[in-house]
Structures are given as C-alpha cells and as structure tokens.
Structure 1
Amino acid sequence: MGECDRDELREVSEAVLAVTAHLSVREVLQTIVSAARRLLGAQYAALGIPDGNGSFREFLADGLTAEQWRRIGPIPRQHGLLGAMLHDPDPVRVADIRRHPSFEGWPSGHPEMVDFLGVPIVDGADILGELFLANKQGGSFDADDEELLKLLAAHAAIAIVNARLYERSRELSIVEERQRIARELHDAVTQKLFSLRLTADAALTLIARDPARAAAELDVVRRLAAEATAELKSIVVGLGPVDLAGDGLAAALRRQIELLERVQEARVSLAMDPVPRLPAASEEAAYRVAQEALHNALRHAAATRITVELRRTPKGVTLTVADDGRGFSTAGRQGRLGLISMHERARAVGGRLLIRSAPGEGTTVTMEVPVA
C-alpha cells in the first residue's frame, strides 16, 4: 500500500471517528466535508441539510475563502440542481454542471464550477441532505470517487440521525417530566388545597355562632396550608436541572450548548477551564443565568454568534455569555424582569452579575460565583 493510500485511509478514519467523538453535529459534518474535498481532490465541497421551508438549516462548505463567502451572500435556496438532489436518491456525476437539465445558474459572486459530483445523504427512504464536490483537480470525478463520497455521506447520515434522536429523547424527557409534575400536583397539592378551601368555608359559617369551633377549623386551615407549601417546595426541587445533580455545571452547560447547536441557526460555542464543583445552589443559579442569557440572545437579540465561557478565578468561577446581537441601552433597563431575575440569582449565592451592552454592539453577561 502506497503512502498516498495510507494517508487517505487515515483521513477516512478521522472523518468516521468524528461521528462518535464528543463534538457538536456541526463540527462532525464540517469534518466530513473537509475530508471529502481533500480525499477526492476537489476544489470545493459543501453539505446542505434542508429546513423544510425551501432553504437550508445547515449549509457547510470547504475550499471557499472568507471573501468568496461574502460575495456569494445568503445561504442558497433549494432551487436548481441543489433542490433536485433533495428529491432524487441517485448520485449526480457530470463533467459540466452547467449542462445539467436542472442547472439554473448561480449568484454573480459565486465561483465558477465545472465538473460536479453530488450524493444524497439518506436514512432509509428519507433524504436528509446532500453532499457534493466541484472542480476535480487534474481530471474528472469517476466511479471510485462516487463510491467514496457515498461512504462519507453515509457517515454524515449517522451524525444527523443521532442528533435527531438525541433531540427527540430530550423532548420525551420534557413531556414525561411535565406528566410527573401534573400527577404530583393532582395527587398531593390539589387535594390539600381542596380540603383547605372546604375547611375555610366551614370556619366562615361557624365564626358567628360557634367561635371555638371556628378557631379549631382555622387551625386546620393553617396546618393544611403548611403541608401544601411543603409539597410545592418538594416539587420545585424536582424541577432543578437533572444534569447538575450528577455531572455538575460544566457538563450541564456542555449538553445545553450541544443541543442549541443542533436546533438553532446561530453558532453557539463553549470554552471552559477545569473548574471545581460549586455548592448545589450556586451551580443552579449559574445554570439558570446562562439559560436566561442564551434565551435573550437567541429570541430577542437576533444573535448569529454566542460564546459561553466558564473560567476558574482565584476566588471562584466566572460565567460569561457574550453575543453579537442587536444589543440595548442599559440605562433604565435594569428593571426588566429577566435582568432582575439574573441579578437576584447571583446575589442569592453571594455572587455578582455584570451586564455590558449597547445598541448594535451585542451583549455580555458575566456572573462571578465564589467557591465558598
């Protein structure tokens, strides 16, 4: 086996192993796209996953410069050959893409492409996306190239299916948790509140003609109210993030970011130092602050990039969530409910919250949490 063959096998192995590594699905797919371009000697490679609305939820490319990306503009729509491949399970291999019946041209800033090889990413009868190459260096794409690209597309399908299964398992967990809470509310709290109301009604009817019995009934009201409060507290404790109890704040944040990477268009990244375990209340507060900051960035700030950092400091741990969204003027905005909640969570565990933002300049939320 030649040195070149060994290099190709190593690159295929790296691409395959990336599917099972602890990477986000976007990183796995980018690894496969880059490996496909290098292995098959193409100038350009790309992978698209449709969004169900005529465009692409993910569109990754390799071989393009930042300037070329800028000239191309927005993510392409599902038209022409890209759209046709999402409805046909057969590979497409042509010497000149411009002569294919489905070709409809490209934007003015798009690089010139001639020979083309594309394969669908399939799971059974479902087409999940497409992987394609253009401009073979030193020749044209052949049957061997097609077989290798189909292999890499199969591994891309594994990554996509795994991501969808993970998301469905999370959704099922949420549904199950809601059902559990509903059962507990019905079995415990609802019944106690019903008894409390009946007892209060009885006390009201007795207060004029039998004050002693009315007082006894009010004692029962007090006891039932205390029991209902205790039941509610126990249920609220059960609502805490499940990930925190076992693996800690760092692992919970990592899972949250991986989930957002799968379901959001914005790029969300995580950088962490090895951090010590914090008291349970501190980890819960930090996790909830991170959730609130991420929610604000994704839902209100229209951010395209969000960075979450968890750093060790001499006195404890610092959590930072920074986005490139529209930002806002902090003057007079500290009274917003979400901001109040984050400040209160930080103060409750002896920490401090800082918010930096300005219109058009994004937002940075920093929470400092002491170890002790």
Structure 2
Amino acid sequence: MTSGEEHDAAVEDLVSQSRLRDLIRVNHAVTSHLDLDTVLRRIVEMATELIDARYAAMGVIGDDGGLEQFIHVGMDEPTAEQIGHLPAGKGLLGALIDDPRPVRIPRIAADVRSSGFPAHHPPMDSFLGVPIRVRSEVYGNLYLTDSRSGAFTADDESLAEGLAATAGIAIANARQFEESQHREKWSLALADATRDLLSDDDGDPVMQLLQTVLDLAEADTVSIHRRDEQTGSLVVDLALGEGAAALQGSRHDAAGHPVAEAISSRRARIHDGGGLMAHSALIAPFVGSDHPGAALVVSRCATKGAFRPRDLTMVSSFASHVGVALDRTEARRNRRRVSMLEDRSRIARDLHDHVIQRLFATGLSLQATASGLDPGTAARITDHVQEIDGAITQIRQSIFAMSQDVERAASSPRGRILAVVNRLGDHMGRRPTVAFDGPIDLLTDPDLARDVEAVIGEALTNAVKHAQASAIDIEVAIAGSQIQVTVADDGVGLGSSPRRSGLANLEDRATARGGGLRIVSGGAGTTIIWTASL
C-alpha cells in the first residue's frame, strides 16, 4: 500500500470514528428525554446534524395507514404556512410506508415513485428514508433530503438506521412513561370519585363525575344517553361541555346508532366519527347499575385527534361510577319525596283537623248571629260567610293536591325548570332566583317545556362561563299568547365574547316557534328575553 493510500485509509478511519462518536452523542441526546413530543422533535433535529442534511422529517403512521403526525426541521414557518397542509403519505413517502425498508436515491425527480412537490415547496434533490420500529411494529419513518455532500452515502444510510434504532427505544420509553402518567392521573381521579360517592356530601355526584371525565379525556362533550323503552328512541338525559344545551333533551333514532348498539351489546367501544355520529367518541354502557339501558358518551372533535384504547378502559371505569352516582341520586330523590309526602300529609291533617273545623264553626256562628240582625247587616254577614265557605273549598282542594304523588309536580314544566336551575346552580356561588307568572303548567306542552329548559340552561351556562356573573334572576311568564323567559345577570356584559355563538341556538329555537330573542347588554350585566308562541 502506498503512502497516499495509507493516508486516505487513516483519514477515512478517523472520519468513521468521529461519526461513531457523533452517533453515540446523538443517541444520548435522544434517549435523555421522556416527553414523547420532545423525543420526536429531538430525533429529527439530531438527524440533520448527524447526517449533514438540510431537511429532515418524521412521519408517524396512523391507524388508517396514512401520516398521523409530521414533524419537520429545516423549512421555515412562512414557507410551511404557504404550503398549507401536511403531506398525505404519497409518492416516496408512501413508498416507504408500503414497504418499510431503507430508500436512498441521488435525485428525487428521477425516481418513478416521486409525485412531485406542492406549490411553494422548496426544491429538494437527494433523499434518504429509513423506517422506525417500536417493538417490531413500524411506528413511522425518518426522512432526510438534500445532503450537503451532494448525495447520501451507504455510511449515511447506516447512521440513519442506527439513529432509527435508537429512536425506537426512545419512543418506546417515552410512550411507556406517558402511559404510566396517564394511568396515574385517571387512577387518582377514580379514587377521588370513589371517596366522593362514599361521602355524605349533598352535592351532585353525577355532574362532578361528568366534569372530571370531560377534563381528563380532553373531550368537548360528555353526555348520558338513555334508551326510551316506550318509543325505542335514544334520549340525551344529561350533557356537559360544548353544545350541551342543544344536546340535552334531544331524541335520536336508535336504528343503527352506535350508542344504541353499545347499550344492546353491553360492551364499550370507540366510535371513529363516521355514520350517525360526526365526532370521535367513547361509548361506555352502564353495567352493574340500575340503568342498564343507558351509556356514558364522551365526544371529541376531529382537531383533537382520535381516542385510544387506553382512554376507553379508563372511561369504562368511570362509567360504572356514574351508574352508581345515578343510583345514589335517585335514592336520595326518593328519600326526599317520601319526606315531602310525609310533611304534606301532616300539614293536610293539621289543616283538616284544625283550620277547616274552626272556619266552619266561625261560619255557623256568623249565620246564627245574622238571623237576629237587620236585613242590610245580615246580608253583609252572609257575604262574609260565603267567602269563608269559598276559602274552605280552596283549602280542601289544596289538601287534595298535596296528597297526590309529587312525581307529577317534578315532571311538570315548573318542576323541570326548577330541576335545571338546581342542577346548574349547584356549581354557582349564589343560586339563581326563579319566578313564575301565569298558568305555566297548564299552557306549556312537553316540547315547548324542553325548549324552555334548554334556553334557561344555555343562558345560565353563558352567564357563568363567559360573563362571570355572580347573581342571576330568572322569570318565566305567560304573556298573552306567548311564553316569555327572562334571564338577567350582573356579569361583565356581552361585548364581542364567544358567548354570542351560544346565543345563536336560542334565537333558532325562538324563530322556530314564532317568537324571538332580544338581548339588552350595557357596560355591566345582560338581560336575555326569549319568547315563543304557545
């Protein structure tokens, strides 16, 4: 071997040792993090440094075989914004997804698998791609373009494969850490929920559990769906989150509905967002409770990503607690009904045994007195006796009404309105005041009552969430041929807050019933006046 060849071999050996040291350093930099998003970003950043490429990216493969995430380095933000969308996993990127083996080509444009670049995309020439495996499963791919040396070499490919192997280990560790954090968070919340269920607190355990699930699952809406045994349809009994006021009380055809199918099979499931439910959802039937025909539904819009199986496991555990909370709430309600019936029965006996008898005796005494007086005075006393007789009749009617089952009162329009206010008022510092004017129960049909419930629920939610109101006054009145709902708060006023979007639903309901919506908002406080035809 000549001295020149010896020199070249020595230089090449030094370069190889240097790159090996770089790979060890990069491996340490990647595996020193446990946050998954940070790990993915560091892998891509280290790839450009290790292999000396202008651009690098990682494509995470989703359940549908496409790219679920795309983390890129080297392209500035203005250029990325001009392109406007992430790659869909076509062309060379798709080739690596379909056949997860290293791909190294000197010129992208000359390869038949290339599908070109979108508008505003910077030109790229050489390409190197290697798969990233996590426990034998292809997690995604590492892409590098534009080697600063002109073209990627076999050594570059070996380094990229070494980095991909390290990346697989780092991703597995980060995912395991994330899973443990996720389980710990849900387990702590589940323990708190169990403690709350066993306590004697008079708060609403169902709403507390729904709020916990809404927060932990990073969901948009949490609701309880029930199968109506009489009509066969699905009814949303309770809802919390975005659009809850419009969702609560709504009915849906059970045929082919994923919630109805989950209730029938008594098995929890993940809904992918197609068919009769637009959003991704976790559906967990209440198993082992007195509500077998109901389910907990946790929904999330597409921008937040799909739910994972781990989410379903945790939500299913919470569903059993929600079922117990419903049982407990119903038992508490029954105890209150029994107590109320006992009180009403006692009051009715007291009225009959004491008040009516005394009024009756007074009437007889006045009649006897009137017989010995002049005709004018006798006539006036007779009128008073008739008034006493009318009062006795009204008291007897009240006694009869008090003797009836209070279930009828609870299901009346007034009772349902008060139930909504009580439920939402539990989460307010000061409970809203409610006033009724006119024959509400007589003139309000069930469909209109549901609209009134939704209107009051939406108005209360908006007042507390967006206006930071501390005092809220509600009046429901019959005004001629219309019902009028007035909700006044002392909040910060309407302004240009997102509160307006929630009010659009109220206006739609009013318009559909031949009424209207009027909003009075000054510097402080807002009054919502909603009307509908009877």
Q: Compute the TM-score of the two structures, normalised by the length of structure 2.
A: 0.37
CA offsets 1:279-324 (integer angstroms, 9 cap, x no match): xx9xxxxxxxxxxxxxxxxxxxxxxxxxxxxxxxxxxxxxxxxxxx
Q: Does the CA contact (< 8 Å) of 1:49 and 1:58 recur in 2?
A: yes
Q: Distance in 2 between matches of 1:3 and 1:118?
A: 23
Counterpart for residue 164 of structure 2? 150
2:324 to 183, 196, 204: 183
Question: For the structure 1 residues 85 and 346, does the alpha-carbon distance in structure 2 shift closer, same or farther, using more than 3 Å as the test?
Answer: farther
1:36 Cα deviation from its structure 2 partner? 0.8
Question: For the structure 1 residues 101 and 145, does the alpha-carbon distance in structure 2 shift closer, same or farther, using more than 3 Å as the test?
Answer: farther
Task: Indicate yes or no: 2:29 matched with 1:14.
Answer: yes
Counterpart for residue 263 of structure 1? none
1:55 Cα deviation from its structure 2 partner? 5.7
Q: Distance in 2 between matches of 1:7 and 1:82?
A: 27
2:73 to 62, 65, 71: 62
Counting only pairs closer than 5 Å after superposition, residues 1-372 of structure 1 correspond to structure 2 as 5-18=20-33, 20=34, 23=35, 25-51=36-62, 56-124=67-135, 126-138=137-149, 139-142=151-154, 143-155=157-169, 157-158=171-172, 161-162=175-176, 165=179, 166=182, 169=310, 172-186=313-327, 188-198=328-338, 200=340, 337-338=461-462, 340-341=464-465, 343-344=467-468
Question: SS of 2:32's equivalent?
Answer: helix
Q: Distance in 2 between matches of 1:10 and 1:125?
A: 25
Q: Does the CA contact (< 8 Å) of 1:48 and 1:60 recur in 2?
A: yes
Q: Distance in 2 between matches of 1:77 and 1:126?
A: 21
Q: Distance in 2 between matches of 1:11 and 1:127?
A: 21
Q: Does the CA contact (< 8 Å) of 2:58 and 2:72 recur in 1?
A: yes
CA offsets 1:80-102 (integer angstroms, 9 cap, x no match): 12123223232222233334342
Question: For the structure 1 residues 161 and 110, does the alpha-carbon distance in structure 2 shift closer, same or farther, using more than 3 Å as the test?
Answer: same
Q: Does the CA contact (< 8 Å) of 2:56 and 2:72 recur in 1?
A: yes
What code does the residue aligned with 1:337 have? Answer: T
What code does the residue aligned with 1:140 have? Answer: F
1:77 Cα deviation from its structure 2 partner? 1.6
1:52 Cα deviation from its structure 2 partner? 5.1
Q: Does the CA contact (< 8 Å) of 1:120 and 1:153 recur in 2?
A: no
What code does the residue aligned with 2:132 have? Answer: I
Question: For the structure 1 residues 128 and 7, does the alpha-carbon distance in structure 2 shift closer, same or farther, using more than 3 Å as the test?
Answer: closer
Q: Distance in 2 between matches of 1:212 and 1:13?
A: 88
Question: SS of 2:116's equivalent?
Answer: coil
CA offsets 1:300-357 (integer angstroms, 9 cap, x no match): xxxxxxxxxxxxxxxxxxxxxxxxxxxxxxxxxxx7834632554899xxxx999996
Q: Distance in 2 between matches of 1:195 and 1:65?
A: 66
1:135 Cα deviation from its structure 2 partner? 1.9
1:161 Cα deviation from its structure 2 partner? 3.7
Q: Does the CA contact (< 8 Å) of 1:87 and 1:127 recur in 2?
A: no
Q: Does the CA contact (< 8 Å) of 1:115 and 1:141 recur in 2?
A: no
Q: Distance in 1 between matches of 2:345 and 2:138?
A: 70
Counterpart for residue 267 of structure 1? none
> Once structures 1 and 2 are overlaid, which stretch shifts more, 43-52 or 121-130?
121-130
1:211 Cα deviation from its structure 2 partner? 6.5
Q: Compute the TM-score of the two structures, normalised by the length of structure 1.
A: 0.50
1:103 Cα deviation from its structure 2 partner? 1.6
Q: Distance in 2 between matches of 1:168 and 1:198?
A: 44
What code does the residue aligned with 2:124 have? Answer: M
Paired-residue identity, % = 24
Q: Distance in 1 between matches of 2:85 and 2:52?
A: 26
Question: SS of 1:128's equivalent?
Answer: strand
Q: Distance in 2 between matches of 1:344 and 1:129?
A: 46
What code does the residue aligned with 1:173 have? Answer: M
Question: SS of 1:109's equivalent?
Answer: coil
CA offsets 1:30-54 (integer angstroms, 9 cap, x no match): 1110001101111110012245568
List runs of 5+ in structure 1 lacking aligned partners. Answer: 222-231, 238-280, 282-334, 360-372
Question: SS of 1:97's equivalent?
Answer: coil
Question: For the structure 1 residues 9 and 208, does the alpha-carbon distance in structure 2 shift closer, same or farther, using more than 3 Å as the test?
Answer: closer
Question: For the structure 1 residues 14 and 99, does the alpha-carbon distance in structure 2 shift closer, same or farther, using more than 3 Å as the test?
Answer: same
Q: Distance in 1 between matches of 2:331 and 2:74?
A: 65
1:124 Cα deviation from its structure 2 partner? 4.2
Q: Distance in 2 between matches of 1:4 and 1:124?
A: 26
Question: Pairwise CA RMSD of aligned residues?
Answer: 4.7
> Once structures 1 and 2 are overlaid, which stretch shifts more, 57-66 or 6-15?
6-15
Question: For the structure 1 residues 206 and 101, does the alpha-carbon distance in structure 2 shift closer, same or farther, using more than 3 Å as the test?
Answer: same
Q: Highest CA radius of gyration, 1 or 2?
A: 2
1:152 Cα deviation from its structure 2 partner? 4.1
Counterpart for residue 288 of structure 1? none
Counterpart for residue 330 of structure 1? none
Q: Does the CA contact (< 8 Å) of 2:58 and 2:71 recur in 1?
A: yes
1:61 Cα deviation from its structure 2 partner? 1.0
CA offsets 1:186-219 (integer angstroms, 9 cap, x no match): 1x332232344456567777876786999xx99x
Q: Distance in 1 between matches of 2:105 and 2:146?
A: 11
Question: For the structure 1 residues 161 and 97, does the alpha-carbon distance in structure 2 shift closer, same or farther, using more than 3 Å as the test?
Answer: farther
Question: For the structure 1 residues 42 and 340, does the alpha-carbon distance in structure 2 shift closer, same or farther, using more than 3 Å as the test?
Answer: same
